[in-house]
Amino acid sequence: MANLAIRCPNCGHALLNIDEPSRPAPLPAPAHTAQGVMAPPFVTPMQAAELLSVGKNTIYGLIAGGEIGVVRLGRLIRIPREELERLAARTETRP
C-alpha cells in the first residue's frame, strides 16, 4: 500500500498522510503435481467472493449463518474449497 503525504511548504513536514486503497490480493498460484495443476485447498473470503462472483458481505453472511464451514486461524478465516463446491452444487439455478 502506498502512502501519500501533503507536505508543509515552509518546513516540509507531513501535514496529512493518505493511504492509497490496496488492490485485492491475487488468487494463489495453484500447486503443480505429477497429474497436472491442483487448486489450493483453502481460499480467503475475498477469493471466495471473487470465485463465486458475489460480494464479500454475502460470503461473510453465509459464514455467519453457518452455510459455509470455515477454518479459523486466530483472526484469519479460510474457506475449504470443498465448502464452495458444496455450496455451488446445492444452489439452484433459475432460467
User: For a pLDDT cut of 70, what percent of the chain falls above it?
Assistant: 58
- Per-residue pLDDT at 40: 77
pTM of the model: 0.56
Average pLDDT, the chain: 77
The whole-angstrom separation of Cα 13 and Cα 52 is 46
Torsion angles phi and psi, residue 17, rounded to 5: -105, 130
Segments making up each domain of the chain, as ranges: 25-90
| pLDDT tens string 51-60 | 888 999 999 9
